[in-house]
Structure 1
Amino acid sequence: MPPFALSCLTYLGIALPGSTLGILWPSMRISLHEPVAALGIVLAAGVAASAASSAATGRILARVPAGPLLAAASALVAGALAVEALAPALWLIAIGSAVFSTGFGAIDAALNAYAAGHFGARQVTWMHAGYGLGATLGPLLVTALLAAGAGWRWTMAAMSFAVAAITVMLAAARHRWKVPAAPAAAKENTASAERSGPSPRRHAILAGVVFTGVETGVESAAGIWGYVFLTGGRGLPAAVAGIAVSAYWLMMFAGRAVLGPVAERAGASRVLALAVAGVPAGALLMAVPGPGLVAVAGMMLLGLAAAPVFPLLTLTTADRSGEGGATAAVGLQMAASAVGSFALPAGIGLVIGAVSARALGPALLALALAMCGVYWLAVRGAG
């Protein structure tokens, strides 16, 4: 199997269990005799491990080829799911979450680093669309298994087997991931930059890392709090709000599938800039007072605009970091993504609790505008 197809399959495979903890937790916490809030311990362990793993992977790839690293990381994910399926207590679930996220972070960073150097705009966005498809199918699969009486332990075991099958394929194809050595000129430029201290390019890398954290936080917050916002803040019926949230994730998937080829023809940087500008436009429709359907339209626009941002930002990393530092920069961006997708929705949740569900719109608008400002700094620093 060629690396592109294997990348899509791997991303889809790790997204299946990655999107199901919220559905499994009610059954898990009753079985383990834990309160609902104990999920925070599991999530905190996972986020910390994922961020550390993603940041370190950029440096590891300089010494270890992508193929063996991906196979080893996938084995960690499969093993962690197996451990969690047998876990008798919360502490082992938390350890399993940390191991799972270590493998997940390494796969995320390694796939994106490889894609940034070997794939075009269409392939990168389709790879991320594969993740979106897996994140959509995961909850459906888990819901079906639980409804059939499988229980959370057997459900986790089934997902462990699925990831183990992908691990076997990654191990068999480990030599197909060709990563050429960085050109001598790039290495020379990197060494020179390290000797000369902070530079505009380093500022561009930092801006790209901050941008990634804010952008993924906006994506996650809109999906996590969208239902509460539409029902409690805009008065929509529960069924309509549920469909709207599903449609939001569908727009993320469709946007990546459709806008990838557009970016390949029109240019990744141009489509990325337009997409970044579209995110606050969608947030504005969610923030302004008006009928609930206007807020729904805003969510759809935000989802469509945000869809290609993360993959195209990864693709253009070398424009900001230089060829020699692209792999490490991608790793840092993946770490920022893990932190942002957890911290910003949590912070917005506190705001919603203190004010009202309507606060989601203005909060997303403020973050989206800040995101645009950081993007401008990143582009300016790379120029």
Structure 2
Amino acid sequence: MYSLLLAVIYLIFISLGLPDSLLGSGWPKMQIAFSVPSSYAGYVSMVISFMTIISALLSPRVIRKVHTKWIVICSIFLTILGLIGFSFAGSYAVLFVFAVPYGLGAGAIDAAVNHYVANHFSSSVMNFLHCFYGVGAVISPNIMAIALRHAGWNEGYRWTAYLQIAILMVVIVSLPLWDKHEQESKLQTVDSVGIRETIHVRGVIPTLIAFFAYCAGEATCFLWTSSYFKGTKTGLSDATIASFGSLIFGGLMFGRLISGFCSNRLGDRMLIRIGIAVELVGIVLVMLPLSAYQVAAVGFVIIGTGMGPVYPAIQHMAPEKFGREYSAAVIGLQMASAYMGSTFMPMVFGNLQHYIGIGVMPMYLLIFAILNIGLLEYSYRYCKSTNGFDII
């Protein structure tokens, strides 16, 4: 029963990744279809992320009252509604309507499932599960690439929605598997502390800003990688450019796969340090002034590989470092902070590249990578005396 439930959670993490990379990979063609500037992708992404912030902030209260399985089912249904709505969008304005369920579904499921995994599974399992997020995020740009070759960008969203429906059916069938865990889950959430109290815990605020910085860089890659190749490299087909949206996700998947094998031995903090060091190497490769696209493509894969362990490691540390009673609220706040980065910073970059050029993207990523590691190191040293952190 335990193994079957874990398999279902793997599928849930795939479903988490499926919607995230579609806008970036499809936007070069969607922009033409809607006759809008390239930077307008940032506004749609901002609405999706803003709705995710709302659901993430509400998640601690929802987690206390509703079992994770029902949150998962409702959230996947909302993302399906958003995907199908995007697929039928006849104008740019329609995207904003369906960005609401698109974003609401993402935030609640992300916070609830990450809280569940952080409290029930090891760091190794957490990394493997987030690796499967990468699987979903790699699949959908390739679905979009196939759709662009044989149909249109609309079909890319529609086919992804069909895959989400299949995952939803599996989750519904698996409902009895969650029952044996329900009592334990309720016991762990009954005494959970709310957001108002959690925000005053030492080390929480710098961690939230670091999470903001991490997701600012990650979401910028999600949305603008395909456009980066279109704007800086020549001789590439539309389908090839769209498929490059999966580079960062392939790196994320690979980084988390490796981390799954060594996280229990190295520890979360060491994984974060190594990961950001690897990310910096990838950024340097993308910066190289070469006309060939291959080096930049490898660079984005390396960036994703370095980013891979950072997100799951920060979240997995929440129960241990801040206490189980604070973990639901900390993870909810982390998700909200993360999606604030996802909401505003890709849009900021969209306007920046409109005036300066999209070639500035690696420098933009470098700023957030340095900010991320600097704030995390400060946070964990700052609150050691209060929360008993171990400094490696």
The TM-score range, normalised by the shorter chain, is 0.7 to 0.9
8 A Cα contact 1:46 1:100, kept in partner? yes
TM-superposed CA distance for 1:152, in Å, is: 4.8
- Please state whether the residue corresponding to 2:19 is helix, strand or coil: helix
8 A Cα contact 1:54 1:109, kept in partner? yes
Aligned to 2:250: 250
Letter in 2 for 1:51: I
TM-superposed CA distance for 1:157, in Å, is: 3.8
Distance 1:114 1:377 in 2: 27
Aligned to 1:20: 22
Aligned to 2:267: 267
Distance 1:282 1:147 in 2: 30
Aligned to 1:62: 64
Aligned to 1:313: 314
- Please state whether the residue corresponding to 2:205 is helix, strand or coil: helix
Residues 283-305 of structure 1 show CA distances to partners (whole Å, capped at 9, x for unaligned) of 45656889988877654543322
8 A Cα contact 2:230 2:236, kept in partner? no
Residues 184-222 of structure 1 show CA distances to partners (whole Å, capped at 9, x for unaligned) of 9x949x59x94xx975xx231222221111112222334
8 A Cα contact 2:21 2:222, kept in partner? no
**Equivalent runs, 1:10-89 vs 2, <5 Å:** 10-24=12-26, 35-36=36-37, 39-86=41-88
Relative to 1, partners in 2 of residues 1:14 and 1:244: Cα closer, same or farther, differing over 3 Å? closer
Distance 1:92 1:336 in 2: 27
TM-score after normalising by structure 1:
0.81
Distance 2:148 2:361 in 1: 32
8 A Cα contact 1:204 1:379, kept in partner? yes
> Please, which moves more after superposition, 55-64 or 365-374?
365-374
**Equivalent runs, 1:276-291 vs 2, <5 Å:** 276-283=276-283
Relative to 1, partners in 2 of residues 1:34 and 1:309: Cα closer, same or farther, differing over 3 Å? same
8 A Cα contact 2:111 2:331, kept in partner? yes
Relative to 1, partners in 2 of residues 1:288 and 1:237: Cα closer, same or farther, differing over 3 Å? closer
8 A Cα contact 1:204 1:320, kept in partner? no
8 A Cα contact 1:71 1:174, kept in partner? no
Aligned residues: 372
Letter in 2 for 1:265: R
- Please state whether the residue corresponding to 2:71 is helix, strand or coil: helix
TM-superposed CA distance for 1:7, in Å, is: 1.9
Confirm or deny that 1:180 pairs with 2:185. yes
> Please, which moves more after superposition, 236-245 or 52-61?
236-245
Distance 1:266 1:52 in 2: 34
8 A Cα contact 1:49 1:98, kept in partner? yes
Confirm or deny that 1:94 pairs with 2:96. yes
Residues 248-275 of structure 1 show CA distances to partners (whole Å, capped at 9, x for unaligned) of 4422221111121111233233322332
Letter in 2 for 1:262: C
8 A Cα contact 2:68 2:112, kept in partner? yes
Residues 79-107 of structure 1 show CA distances to partners (whole Å, capped at 9, x for unaligned) of 33334445565554322211121112111
8 A Cα contact 1:51 1:334, kept in partner? yes
Distance 2:204 2:220 in 1: 24
Letter in 2 for 1:322: G
Aligned to 1:217: 216
Aligned to 2:10: 8
Distance 2:32 2:288 in 1: 41
TM-superposed CA distance for 1:6, in Å, is: 1.4
TM-score after normalising by structure 2:
0.79
Structure 1 portions without partners, runs of 5+: none
Aligned to 1:115: 117
TM-superposed CA distance for 1:65, in Å, is: 0.6
Letter in 2 for 1:10: I
TM-superposed CA distance for 1:117, in Å, is: 1.0
Distance 1:295 1:86 in 2: 34
**Equivalent runs, 1:349-360 vs 2, <5 Å:** 349-360=350-361
Structure 2 portions without partners, runs of 5+: none
Instruction: Give me the identity figure in percent.
Output: 22
**Equivalent runs, 1:337-348 vs 2, <5 Å:** 337-348=338-349
| Alignment RMSD | 3.7
8 A Cα contact 1:11 1:134, kept in partner? yes
Confirm or deny that 1:106 pairs with 2:111. no
